[in-house]
Amino acid sequence: MLSLVETACIVCGGSGTEAEATGRDFEYDTVPHEFRFVRCRDCGHVYLNPRPAPSELGRIYPPNYYAFSGGGNSLVARLRRHWEGGKVRLYRRYIGEGRRRILDVGCGDGRFLELLRDYGAPEWEPVGIDIDERAVARARARGFEARLCRVEDFEGADGTFDGVIMLQLIEHVEDPARVAQRVHGLLRPGGVFVVETPNLGGLDYRLFRGRHWGHYHFPRHWNLFSTAALHRMLEERGFEIVRTEYLISTSAWIISLHNRALDRGLPGPVVRFFHYQNPLLLALFVGSDWLRARLGGVTSNQRVIARRR
């Protein structure tokens, strides 16, 4: 039996809800349960309720979870590195040149720490934290300072960071508002908080909403933000929004198609075709999302850059 926890909206504290989506763990089949996302009637925030208890994390994040495993398609990996190098160059514009301490929350094995070192300012000092002991050991083996803890429990570093980066993580945590408050404390005045997280919008959200949308990621995504809700949460915790934009969201398109094919009982080869690293599908959806974003449209992935006031 999976241990579940009832919760209220973390954005406004409201408890009145309406149904948003139901579904199961289509991607890893870790548990047989059906889960439910609800929408807060007061502010519109979407969250999983009930959700797995923190004690169940080892069960719902299997050893082959994509964030824990390396490898994959080498061409995709090279293209991803080039694309993410561009991200770091953007961060550099806001965090600044010279000696800066940058914290990567959820650093894993140090892959993004290497990008911060290679594409950031030469004097930058990248630091990582993660809750996976093996990942932290690998990051340290790469020569980085890395700590084993949650950001909420990160002590002894108040006001010492110039930038905190959180990529596709805030949607996984128990209390995003508490996380944002802790990040505020870790930053120096004027320090920059970079958040990338799914967005409740975009064509794929409209097409697959209700059950199969890839960013539901049952049961590992616990909070899904509209841009307005994310802005509100950050502003109420002492941040000023300085940049918001929509990004390509390739995995959401492909995983949505995978989930629908699996749920409808289509043959195994068809289901396996919709793998999130399929180069053909990646090319198709990277192009479509890139064009949509360039034309000022909304996608199902967002980046918000905020500054500590």
Q: Flag whether 99 is in a domain.
A: no
What is the Cα–Cα distance from 170 to 188, expressed in whole angstroms? 21
Q: Flag whether 267 is in a domain.
A: yes
- Start-to-end CA distance of the chain, whole Å, equals 45
What is the Cα–Cα distance from 221 to 230, expressed in whole angstroms? 15
- Average pLDDT of the chain is 94
Alpha helix positions (H), 241-278: 250-263, 268-273
Q: With cut-offs at 50, 70 and 90, classify the pLDDT of residue 254.
A: very high
Neighbour count for residue 218 (Cβ, 10 Å): 25
What pLDDT is attached to residue 250? 82
pLDDT > 70: percent of the chain = 97
As given in the structure block, the two tokens for residue 54 are 């923190």
Neighbour count for residue 29 (Cβ, 10 Å): 10
Convert the pLDDT of each residue in 90-100 to its tens digit.
999 999 999 99
What pLDDT is attached to residue 65? 86
Convert the pLDDT of each residue in 163-196 to its tens digit.
999 999 999 999 999 999 999 999 999 999 999 9
Convert the pLDDT of each residue in 208-251 to its tens digit.
999 999 999 999 999 999 999 999 999 999 999 999 999 998 89
pLDDT > 90: percent of the chain = 83
Buried b (16+ CB within 10 A) or exposed e, 8-22: ebbbbeeeebeebbe
Q: Flag whether 51 is in a domain.
A: yes
Q: Is the pLDDT of residue 75 over 70?
A: no
SS3 label, residue 2: coil
From 181, 184, 178, 189, select the one nearest 164 (Cα to Cα).
184
Residue 143 — left, alpha, or beta (φ > 0 → left; ψ -120 to 50 → alpha)? left
What is the Cα–Cα distance from 46 to 201, expressed in whole angstroms? 12
Q: Is the pLDDT of residue 70 over 60?
A: no
Q: Flag whether 130 is in a domain.
A: no
pTM for the full predicted model: 0.93
Q: With cut-offs at 50, 70 and 90, classify the pLDDT of residue 63.
A: confident
Q: Is the pLDDT of residue 71 over 60?
A: no
Q: With cut-offs at 50, 70 and 90, classify the pLDDT of residue 73.
A: low
What pLDDT is attached to residue 156? 86
What pLDDT is attached to residue 78? 75
CATH number, domain containing residue 262: 3.40.50
Residue 15 CB partners (closer than 8 Å, separation 6+):
8, 9
- More confident position, 65 or 159: 159
Q: Flag whether 253 is in a domain.
A: yes
Are 146 and 109 in contact by the 8 Å Cβ rule? The answer is no
What pLDDT is attached to residue 287? 92
From 10, 290, 1, 64, select the one nearest 174 (Cα to Cα).
10
What pLDDT is attached to residue 72? 59
Q: How many domains does the chain have?
A: 1
* Owning domain of residue 201: 4-65+150-308
